[in-house]
Amino acid sequence: MNGPELKALVSDWRVAALIILIFLSVVAIFPHIDQQGNMASNLQYGLDLQQGSWLQLEFRAEVVGFTSDRPVGEFIANLSEKLDTEVILVDATHLEIRKYYSQADLEPVFTAAGGKITTYQQGVSKATAEDVKRILENKINTLGTKDAKVNTLTGMNNIARYIRVELAGVDMKQAQDIMGKQGKFEIRVQTAGNESEHVLFGDAITSVQNPSQEPAGSDRWGVGFTLSEAGAAAFRNGAIKYGATTDPEKHNLVMLLDNNTVYSAPLSQDLAGKLQAENIRQLYASTGSGKAGTTQATNLEIHLRAGALPVDVSIAGSGGVSAPLGERYKTMALLAGIFALITVGLVIYFRYREPSIVLPMVLINASEIVILLGIISLIKFQLDLPTIAGLIAVVGTGIDQLVVITDEILHEGKVPSPNLYLKRLSRALGIIVVAAATVVIAMLPLALMDLSTLKGFAIITILGVLVGVLVTRPAYGKIIMQILSK
């Protein structure tokens, strides 16, 4: 191919698009040598290619659709008492029950309370799931674990059944310890200066409410929480004994998590007065107004729970990979990719025996992998083993379609006129589009499902097909025409 021909080829929009995409992909992948002198890139690896652990937790709670003729508040209070757990109104027709009951167990309770169950699904509302996510993230952060990911898996009906925690650089034993560890929460009353006396521990707190405004709409934030009978008595005794009821300003109420002060404020005059007379179970800790008040309230809620979750969870699944095994898998994946490209190249060579056809084919094939890796880097997708299987499948099937194009164009061994060429190319692309559509449709269910770890595999396969149909196959059609018409 001489200079002008090459120029004409490169300026063809299909070929130009391919070259630009390859260039952008290399920029996105950004292969470089890092400060330690190791090969590095923007590619992110999944947990099976680096040291790390994952835990998938299942909520022991359910979201129930209901109807009832009774006033909703009354109905919920009644249910909550009978079921001995918090019952929360998600929307006008759905309740979240924060304890696990089967539908059969719930039905008689609902009937007795004057209502009916319309739908039942294990899990929690999206809001609660987000709450749990925040608590877990907070817990992991305070323990100094970096690079942790917490994802709630929310279905289309806004009910989350699972939450997945991924901890890079942590082995399974450590991961279990982190997740199982409960902080030590304590309330003390200031006696003088820095001195304080113990009043109660976190086990006296029976429930913690979400941050709220008191009074409603005032932008004055705080968190309500409830003490057990014994806790309320201990709280009253402590407050009276250490002078918090008679001189609140001098005797702050101090809350500590793992011996760090997380909250310190005087009792309100109103509460101080009431405590003189009786045990109070329902308390409210104000945190101030505005954004600062909200943030503090959110944190305080987590602290009050001492890292405990508002809903019980059970471990649905877990796993972990060690650093050496992750490295080994990474090497194997790279080897498999290169090996696949070479064997495919050999098969093609065996068929056409013509380097000027085989070389562009293999290069186009490799360029698809580069573009896909570029997209993966750009969208910060994690490269894991199933995704790599998807990439290798792209090598195998991508070349199929190049074969279809080549054979259609080369039909009867003659190089066609430009007119006939276009007709044949469009016929080849017709075959390719149908084949591509079936692959996309076949992979779609897997790509849409949240549960499965094979999401990556499906997404890469679909992306691979799209990149092929939209960019690399048309470009190949142009390139092969140029080469053949020589």
Partner 1 sequence: MGMGLIKYDIEKYSPQQLVIIPLVLLVISIVLLAFTTINTGMPLTPGIDFSGGTAVTVITSDTPAQIKATFTDYPLIDISEGVNNGKFLKFSSMDDAKFRSLTTLITQKYPDAKIDQIGESFGKTLQYQAVIALIFSFIGMAIVIFISFRTFVPAGAVVLSAFADMVMTAATMNIVGIPLSLGTVAALLMLIGYSVDSDILLTNRVLKRQGKLNDKLTGAFKTGIIMTSTTLAATAALFIVSWFGSVQILMEISAVLLIGLVFDILNTWLTNAGILKWYVLKGGGK
Scanning residues 454 to 483, which ones bind partner 1 (CB under 8 A)?
Answer: 454, 457-458, 461
Note whether 340 binds partner 1 by CB under 8 A: yes
Note whether 353 binds partner 1 by CB under 8 A: yes
Note whether 355 binds partner 1 by CB under 8 A: no
Tokens 């993966």 locate to 376
Note whether 435 binds partner 1 by CB under 8 A: yes
171/197 with CB nearer partner 1: 171
CB of residue 486 vs partner 1: minimum separation in angstroms?
A: 17
Note whether 169 binds partner 1 by CB under 8 A: no
CB of residue 371 vs partner 1: minimum separation in angstroms?
A: 18
Among the candidate windows 34-42, 63-71, 128-136, 327-335, which touches partner 1 by CB under 8 A? 327-335
Decide if 152 contacts 175 (C-beta within 8 A).
Answer: no
Q: Which of residues 174-193 bind partner 1 (CB under 8 A)?
A: 176
> Among 361, 367, 364, which residue's Cα sits nearest to residue 349?
361
Note whether 415 binds partner 1 by CB under 8 A: no
Q: Which of 234, 392, 459, 479 binds partner 1 (CB under 8 A)?
A: 392
Q: Which of 145, 226, 382, 397 binds partner 1 (CB under 8 A)?
A: 397
Q: Total number of residues binding partner 1 (CB under 8 A)?
A: 80
217/413 with CB nearer partner 1: 413
Decide if 405 contacts 425 (C-beta within 8 A).
Answer: yes
Q: Which of residues 109-138 bind partner 1 (CB under 8 A)?
A: none
Tokens 């573009």 locate to 371
Among the candidate windows 36-44, 168-176, 222-230, 248-256, which touches partner 1 by CB under 8 A? 168-176
Note whether 173 binds partner 1 by CB under 8 A: yes
CB of residue 311 vs partner 1: minimum separation in angstroms?
A: 16
CB of residue 275 vs partner 1: minimum separation in angstroms?
A: 41
Burial of 459 (0-12, 13-18, 19+ CB in 10 A): buried
Among the candidate windows 138-146, 371-379, 400-408, 468-476, which touches partner 1 by CB under 8 A? 400-408
Q: Which of residues 20-59 bind partner 1 (CB under 8 A)?
A: 48, 56, 58
- Residues 5 and 458: their CA atoms lie apart, in Å, by 40
CB of residue 152 vs partner 1: minimum separation in angstroms?
A: 15
- Residues 454 and 393: their CA atoms lie apart, in Å, by 14
Tokens 């323990």 locate to 143
